[in-house]
Amino acid sequence: MTDIIVYHNPECGTSRNVLGLIRNAGIEPHVVEYLKTPPAQALLVQLITRAGITPRELLRGKGTPYAELGLSDPSLSDEALIDAMMAHPILVNRPLVVSPLGVKLCRPSEVVLDLLPTPQRGAFAKEDGQQVVDAAGARVI
**What is the spatial distance between Cα 29 and Cα 50, in angstroms, rounded to a whole number?**
19
Distances in Å between the Cα of 85 and the Cα atoms of 12, 80, 95, 97, 135 are 18, 9, 15, 17, 40
> DSSP letter string over 23-52?
HHTT--PEEEETTTSPPPHHHHHHHHHHHT
Catalytic residue among 4, 12, 84, 92: 12
106 catalytically annotated: no
Which of 36, 40, 42, 76 has its CA nearest to residue 59?
Answer: 76
108-118 b/e with 16+ CB inside 10 Å = b?
ebbbbbebbee
Q: Which residues are catalytic?
A: 12
